DNA sequence: CGGTATCCCCGTCGATACTG
DNA sequence: CAGTATCGACGGGGATACCG
């Protein structure tokens, strides 16, 4: 137990848990693992502002704490939660529910389109999407040049995020401010509301336009009831 | 929002929650408030290794974040949880349950008798204790001189912790190693088990000896089922 | 793909003393 | 009781480059 958070010198289990978990980024790494990330670069995509050396350090700490296991699968490395790690899911969920209810305001800097698309790509309801290849195009006119246009390529094998036009035919096109799209994703605003108020535009064949909201299950926390 | 934790630059509610909560001591302050602490020096007793300036800072941060309210009651100051703050209870509970299950080993430095007595004093089942004044004496032979002997004075108005003999007649005397007593308190070991194995000695009239374990409700996490 | 290696800054935290 | 004031160190962590 060499390099873990400083001790609180308390026997209280909350304190003991926080010695491990209160360090910056740690619980977000857990969140990524809970969300299904397995490989180093998977995790990095969900934690773009975290330096690779720090991620590496955190993974080692968590491994030493018995929260994750590091395995070689083929010539790949694979991180998975142990039983102890899996049981951190309720902690992550409690934090996310609380954050959803009580941390309303997002700064502009919180609105990372890459992160948004990465999150969307892993919350797609495959059964709802048409067979074959379906491409959804997102346009955020207010975002910086390089981050304006995105494509989500959905096939039966999964979904890929592209920041350059993959060239395939686009099934549906979504245009909105980045903030609005994030709010929809978080469940702060409904698809219908946003369209009705002209805050979001969906283009494409009517059947597709109608179906699109069903393709995404939204963030896990979207359904959390908000304070009255 | 000037002095809060550094931003993660993520819209994820877990990240937004952790920007506030991942700083050292913050969740332990919340724990104290959840446990009923109201005044600055109450909180300090539950957080002995936290410097007063840092506690002050945390309280201000939490107030700015809308998690606690600071009120003057008479010429006293009183901190209470807001609605948002109360809803952090599930977070604290999830952390405590996890810590109870998965952080078994306590360092010697975690075994603070003052903290133990302070925790005990606020988890007494008043209905179970005899009428009038009841004094329980604790003796930790392995603890440093000044921290060996403690008295818990229980009346209908509450309980007081003394580190010097208050002089009242002692109803029951408990002798054990500090570690053993903490383990009992955390629910790692039962009263009966400890006595049976000679790890703990209870002295006094038989009726009192039998009744004593019922006077304490133990730590909130004592009942958490342990991993098999 | 899966990480190390460095470097350095700046902010946090701890310790201690002191005040209305 | 309820905090401020001050100060210094230490190390966490951000940035960037690089390696197998």
pLDDT tens digit string along B154-191?
998 889 999 999 999 999 999 999 999 999 999 999 99
Element (H, E) at B136: strand B134-139
Mutate to test the interface with A, among B17, B21, B107 (most CBs of A within 10 A): B17
**How do residues A165-202 score in pLDDT, each as one tens digit?**
999 999 999 999 999 999 999 999 999 999 999 999 99
Tokens 């490395």 correspond to: A77
Closest residue to B10, CB basis, from A9, A92, A115: A115
Q: Which residue has the tokens 């969140």?
A: A31
With vertex at residue B77, the alpha carbon angle to CA B71 and CA B79, rounded to the nearest 5 degrees, is 60
CA distance A127 to B135: 67
**What pLDDT does residue A5 have?**
80
CA angle B204/B209/B215 to nearest 5° reads: 120
Contact B182, B111 (CB under 8 A): yes
Residues of A in contact with B49 (CB under 8 A): 8-10
Q: Which chain A residue is nearest to residue B108, measuring alpha carbons?
A: A9
Confidence of residue A141 (pLDDT cuts 50, 70, 90): very high
What separation in angstroms does the CA of A105 have from each of A32, B3, B65? 23, 16, 12
Residue percentage of chain B with pLDDT more than 70: 99
Round and report the angstrom distance from CA (B20) to C1' (C12): 15
Q: What percent of chain A has pLDDT over 90?
A: 91
Residue where the block lists tokens 């019922």 = B214
Instruction: Say whether the CB atom of B76 is under 7 angstroms from strand C.
Output: no
Which residue among B83, B91, B186 places its CB closest to the CB of A11?
A: B186
Nearest to B91 among A98, A103, A115 (CB): A98
Read off the tokens for B209. 């000896």
Q: What per-residue confidence (pLDDT) applies to B104?
A: 81
Residue owning tokens 């397995």: A38
Share the mean pLDDT of chain B. Answer: 94
Q: What average pLDDT score do residues A90-96 get?
A: 98
In angstroms, the separation between the Cα of residue B10 and the nearest Cα of chain A is 5
Tokens 């336009």 belong to residue:
A209
Please identify which residue in the block is written with the tokens 């002095």: B3
Q: By mean pLDDT, which of A45-59, A133-147, B2-16 is the weakest?
A: B2-16
Tell which phi-psi region holds residue A167, choosing left (phi > 0), alpha (psi between -120 and 50) or beta.
left
B73 beta partners:
B76
Instruction: Output the distance from B53 CA to C19 C1' rounded to whole Å.
Output: 14
Q: Which residues pair with B76 in a beta bridge?
A: B73
Q: Do B94 and A94 touch (CB under 8 A)?
A: yes
Give the whole-angstrom CA distance, residue B182 versus residue B112. 9
Q: Closest Cα to residue A58, out of B226, B22, B17, B104?
A: B22
Say if domain B108-215 classifies as CATH 3.40.50.970.
Answer: no
The Cα–Cα gap between B181 and B185 comes to: 6
The predicted model scores a pTM of 0.95
What tokens were used for B28?
């332990």
Please tell me the distance from the alpha carbon of residue A37 to that of residue A31, in angstroms, as a whole number: 9
* Nucleotides, chain D, CB distance < 7 Å: 1-6, 12-17
Q: Is the CB of B40 under 7 A from strand C?
A: no
Q: What is the H or E stretch that residue A184 is in?
A: helix A178-186
H helices of chain B, in order, are 13-21, 26-34, 40-46, 52-64, 83-86, 89-102, 113-121, 178-186, 191-196, 206-215
Check if A13-102 and A108-215 are the same fold: no
- The reply to whether residue A103 touches residue B20, judged by beta carbons under 8 angstroms, is yes
Q: Does domain B13-102 have CATH number 3.20.20.140?
A: no
Tokens of B141: 């032979």
Name the minimum distance, in Å, from the CA of A45 to any CA of chain B: 12
Q: Are B129 and B154 in contact (CB under 8 A)?
A: yes
For residue B101, the tally of other CB atoms under 10 A from its CB is 18
> How many Å apart are B50 CA and C15 C1'?
10
Where do the structural domains in chain B lie, given as residue ranges?
A: 13-102, 108-215
* pLDDT for residue A1: 36
Which helix or strand (DSSP H or E) is residue A180 part of? helix A178-186
CA nearest neighbour of B34 among A12, A217, A106, A152: A12
Residue A83 CA and nucleotide D8 C1' are separated, in Å, by 43
Question: Does any strand D atom come closer than 7 Å to the Cβ of B75?
Answer: no
Residues 45-64 of chain B in contact with strand C via CB under 7 angstroms: 49-54
CA-only gyration radius of chain B, Å: 19
A148 and A140 Cβ atoms separated by less than 8 Å: yes
Closest Cα to residue A55, out of A35, A75, A28? A28
Question: Closest nucleotide (CA of B23 to C1')?
Answer: C12
Tell me A188's DSSP state. S
Whether A104 has a pLDDT exceeding 90, the answer reads no
Q: Which residues pair with residue B153 across a beta bridge?
A: B135, B160
Question: Min CA distance, B80 vs chain A (Å)?
Answer: 17
């Amino acid at each position: 137990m060499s390099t873990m958070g400083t001790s609180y010198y308390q026997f209280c289990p909350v304190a003991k848990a926080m010695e491990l978990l209160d360090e910056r980024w740690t619980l977000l790494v857990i969140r990524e693992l809970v969300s299904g990330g397995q490989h180093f670069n998977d995790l990095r995509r969900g934690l773009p502002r975290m330096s690779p050396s720090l991620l590496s350090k955190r993974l080692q700490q968590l491994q030493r704490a018995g929260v994750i296991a590091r395995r070689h699968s083929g010539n790949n490395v694979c991180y998975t939660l142990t039983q102890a790690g899996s049981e951190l899911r309720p902690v992550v969920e409690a934090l996310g529910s609380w954050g959803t209810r009580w941390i309303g305001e997002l700064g502009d800097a919180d609105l990372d389109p890459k992160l948004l698309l990465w999150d969307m790509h892993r919350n797609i309801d495959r059964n709802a999407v048409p067979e074959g290849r379906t491409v959804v195009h997102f346009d955020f006119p207010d975002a910086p040049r390089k981050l304006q246009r995105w494509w989500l390529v959905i096939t039966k094998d999964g979904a890929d995020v592209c920041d350059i036009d993959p060239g395939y035919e686009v099934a549906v096109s979504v245009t909105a401010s980045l903030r609005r799209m994030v709010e929809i994703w978080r469940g702060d605003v409904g698809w219908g509301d946003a369209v009705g108020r002209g805050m979001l535009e969906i283009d494409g064949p009517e059947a597709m336009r109608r179906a699109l909201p069903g393709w995404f299950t939204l963030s896990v926390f979207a359904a959390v009831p908000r304070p009255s």
